[in-house]
């Protein structure tokens, strides 16, 4: 099976494959200098990046022009020199050319915790996106410094909910619901944020009796919230919120969507009063690409295929799949299967291709036949990794992600509530 990099190489004008543009693959630095903030080519290219989204300045030419072999040699040499003083983390969705240098590979929360297992590491280099580096800074030791190799590696979904819009929404909800608990002591509404959100929103949840969830524990967290509140305000991913609440028996008509650009989120008062879960108008442009038609085609081509999709996919896709689960769930399902199983997977292409390579005993393919990786993950290239690692060797910390303690402290409260929540 060709690697993602090989397939992307075929996506050239006149090439055999059509797709989102591959232009981020070889030279993401070309997009650092664009005058208007944008996520760059790939799945999120149509999403609007906020004006204050972090930008990456130009990195030295030696890293932009180095060959793959030279970067490889320099990264390995810098890592060897730094030894235990550095730990490199690689998200599941990161490209293979970067993941091969990672000391740990996992999802965002697994990686944030992995950093804690290396207390000798003064620097944590997070090959992922901005909110992940923030979470690592929140949970790591105070003397550890978190580095994001390319500051422009954001997350379009996380950027769809910002602290000002959520605060404004909260004020409107408080005006409508009041703040008094009901007879059983449940407050009118509990804020729940997905891990894929800014530190400011995690802090907001900590301050307002709320909690963080991951795609692995969203149902447990919603149960926790329903024990304490009459309703939930769930941000930023509408699909994870809807899929999870629906599986718990919440009717769709009691899940209004909140559009932050409209009064009362674009809803009438009664719909907001009747709500059990208010869903923020956010989504992941990678997982939004999966369709029911792709599942039908997989079933027609491979009778007996097992279709597993990520819960960030739209509800009709989750309903049509055999199973929905987090990246961790997908991995474990493949590990536990009898040899010879055919899997059609609905999540980011780099992870699917890696699973296919690691499990030749199964047939594993991505539901989306068009290679269109996460634009923001693709902002990290080995050139940036070499740049930050060699700077560390020289005693300089570049691209540090530091969350102010006034935000980190309540964010930690919301994360600790999540860890304490039990099914
Ligand atoms: S896959 Fe989606 S949620 Fe994950 S970093 Fe990319 S845009 Fe964000």
What does the alpha-carbon distance between residue 137 and residue 139 come to, in Å, rounded to a whole number?
6
In testing the pocket of ligand 1, which one of 4, 193, 377 has its CB within 8 Å of the most ligand atoms?
377
Mark residue 196 as left, alpha or beta (left: phi above 0; alpha: psi -120 to 50; beta: remaining). Answer: beta
Asked if residue 371 has pLDDT above 80, the reply is: no
In testing the pocket of ligand 1, which one of 47, 50, 218, 285 has its CB within 8 Å of the most ligand atoms?
285
Residue 312 vs residues 72, 271, 282, 284, 348: alpha-carbon distances, Å: 34, 24, 10, 7, 11
Asked if residue 9 has pLDDT above 70, the reply is: no
Q: Which two tokens stand for residue 308?
A: 């597993």
Mark residue 150 as left, alpha or beta (left: phi above 0; alpha: psi -120 to 50; beta: remaining). Answer: beta
Region 358-373 average pLDDT: 91
**Residue whose CA lies nearest to ligand 1 atom number 6:** 374
Closest by Cα among 310, 313, 240 to 277: 240
- Encode burial over 185-211: b for 16+ CB neighbours within 10 A, e otherwise: ebbbbbbbbbbbbbbbbbbbbbebbbb
How many Å lie between the centroid of ligand 1 and the Cα of residue 227?
Answer: 30
**What integer best gives the mean pLDDT of the chain?**
94
How many Å lie between the centroid of ligand 1 and the Cα of residue 129?
Answer: 8
Structure confidence at residue 7 (pLDDT): 65
Structure confidence at residue 40 (pLDDT): 85
List residues forming the annotated binding site. 91, 108, 155, 194-196, 215, 284, 310-312, 327, 374
Nearest ligand 1 atom to the CA of 196 is 3
How does residue 45 score in pLDDT terms, banded at 50, 70 and 90?
A: confident
How many Å lie between the centroid of ligand 1 and the Cα of residue 156?
Answer: 7
- % residues pLDDT > 70 (the chain): 96
Region 360-373 average pLDDT: 90
Structure confidence at residue 15 (pLDDT): 52
What does the alpha-carbon distance between residue 403 and residue 140 come to, in Å, rounded to a whole number?
11
Nearest ligand 1 atom to the CA of 39 is 7
Structure confidence at residue 74 (pLDDT): 98
How many Å lie between the centroid of ligand 1 and the Cα of residue 124?
Answer: 21
Nearest ligand 1 atom to the CA of 376 is 6
**Residue whose CA lies nearest to ligand 1 atom number 8:** 155
Nearest ligand 1 atom to the CA of 237 is 3
How does residue 404 score in pLDDT terms, banded at 50, 70 and 90?
A: very high
Q: Which residues line ligand 1 (CB under 6 A)?
A: 44, 93, 129, 155-157, 196, 284-286, 348, 374, 376-377
How many Å lie between the centroid of ligand 1 and the Cα of residue 335?
Answer: 24
Region 200-215 average pLDDT: 98
Asked if residue 296 has pLDDT above 80, the reply is: yes
Domains and CATH numbers, the chain: 4-155+376-407 (3.40.50.10800), 159-284 (3.40.50), 287-366 (3.40.50.10800)
Region 166-173 average pLDDT: 98
- % residues pLDDT > 90 (the chain): 85
How many Å lie between the centroid of ligand 1 and the Cα of residue 96?
Answer: 17
Structure confidence at residue 372 (pLDDT): 81
What does the alpha-carbon distance between residue 421 and residue 205 come to, in Å, rounded to a whole number?
15
Structure confidence at residue 373 (pLDDT): 82
Asked if residue 4 has pLDDT above 80, the reply is: no
End-to-end CA distance of the chain: 39
CB 38, CB 49: distance < 8 Å: yes
How many Å lie between the centroid of ligand 1 and the Cα of residue 95?
Answer: 13
Q: What is the pTM of this model?
A: 0.95
How does residue 412 score in pLDDT terms, banded at 50, 70 and 90?
A: very high
How many Å lie between the centroid of ligand 1 and the Cα of residue 202?
Answer: 17
Region 174-203 average pLDDT: 98
**Residue whose CA lies nearest to ligand 1 atom number 2:** 284
Cis before 261? omega within 30: no
The string of pLDDT tens digits covering residues 90-143 is 999 999 999 999 999 999 889 988 888 898 999 999 999 999 999 999 999 999
Which of residues 279 and 35 earns the better pLDDT score? 279
* β pairing state of 277-280 and 323-324: unpaired
How many Å lie between the centroid of ligand 1 and the Cα of residue 175?
Answer: 33
What does the alpha-carbon distance between residue 108 and residue 122 come to, in Å, rounded to a whole number?
19
In testing the pocket of ligand 1, which one of 131, 156, 213, 237 has its CB within 8 Å of the most ligand atoms?
156
Region 40-44 average pLDDT: 87
CA 308 to chain centre: 18
**Residue whose CA lies nearest to ligand 1 atom number 5:** 155
DSSP string, 173-199: HHHHH-S---TTS-BS-EEEEESSS-H
Structure confidence at residue 383 (pLDDT): 98
CB 256, CB 278: distance < 8 Å: yes
What single-letter DSSP state applies at residue 32? T
Return phi, psi of residue 148, to 5°: -110, 115
Nearest ligand 1 atom to the CA of 287 is 2
What does the alpha-carbon distance between residue 243 and residue 260 come to, in Å, rounded to a whole number?
21
Asked if residue 300 has pLDDT above 60, the reply is: yes
Nearest ligand 1 atom to the CA of 128 is 5
CB 107, CB 328: distance < 8 Å: yes
What does the alpha-carbon distance between residue 184 and residue 170 come to, in Å, rounded to a whole number?
22
Structure confidence at residue 88 (pLDDT): 98
């Amino acid at each position: 099976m060709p690697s993602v990099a090989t397939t992307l190489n075929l996506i050239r004008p006149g090439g055999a494959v059509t797709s989102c543009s591959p232009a981020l693959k070889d030279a993401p630095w070309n997009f650092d200098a664009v005058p208007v903030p944008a996520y760059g080519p790939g799945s999120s290219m149509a999403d609007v990046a906020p004006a204050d989204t972090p930008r990456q300045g130009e990195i030295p030419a030696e890293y932009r022009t180095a060959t793959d072999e030279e970067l490889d040699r320099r990264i390995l040499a810098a890592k060897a020199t730094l030894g235990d003083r550095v730990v490199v983390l690689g998200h599941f969705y990161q490209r293979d050319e970067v993941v091969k240098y990672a000391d740990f590979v996992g999802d965002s929360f697994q990686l944030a915790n992995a950093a804690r297992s290396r207390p000798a590491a003064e620097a944590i280099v997070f090959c992922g996106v901005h909110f992940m580096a923030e979470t690592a800074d929140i949970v790591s030791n105070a003397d550890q410094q978190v580095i994001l190799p390319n500051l422009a590696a954001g997350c379009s979904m996380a950027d769809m909910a910002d602290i000002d819009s959520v605060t404004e929404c909260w004020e409107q909800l408080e005006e409508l619901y009041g703040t008094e608990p009901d007879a059983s002591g449940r407050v009118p509404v509990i804020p729940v944020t997905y891990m894929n959100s800014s530190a400011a929103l995690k802090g907001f949840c900590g301050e307002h009796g709320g909690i963080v969830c991951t795609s692995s524990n969203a149902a447990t967290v919603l149960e926790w919230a329903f024990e304490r509140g009459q309703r939930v305000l769930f941000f930023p991913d509408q699909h994870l919120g809807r899929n999870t609440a629906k599986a718990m028996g919440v009717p769709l008509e009691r899940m209004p969507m909140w559009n932050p650009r409209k009064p009362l989120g674009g809803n009438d008062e009664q719909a907001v009063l009747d709500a059990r879960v208010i869903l923020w108008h956010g989504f992941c442009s990678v997982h939004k690409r999966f369709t029911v038609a792709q599942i039908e085609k997989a079933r027609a081509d491979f009778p007996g295929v097992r279709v597993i999709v990520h819960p960030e996919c739209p509800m009709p896709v989750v309903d049509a799949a055999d199973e929905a689960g987090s990246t961790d769930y997908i991995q474990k399902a493949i590990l536990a299967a009898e040899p010879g199983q055919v899997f059609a997977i609905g999540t980011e292409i780099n992870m699917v291709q890696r699973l296919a390579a690691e499990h030749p005993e199964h047939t594993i393919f991505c539901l989306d036949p068009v290679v269109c990786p996460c634009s923001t993950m693709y902002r990290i290239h080995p050139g940036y990794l070499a740049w930050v690692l060699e700077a560390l060797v020289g005693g300089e910390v570049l691209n540090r992600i530091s969350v102010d303690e006034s935000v980190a402290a309540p964010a930690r409260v919301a994360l600790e509530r999540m860890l304490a929540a039990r099914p």
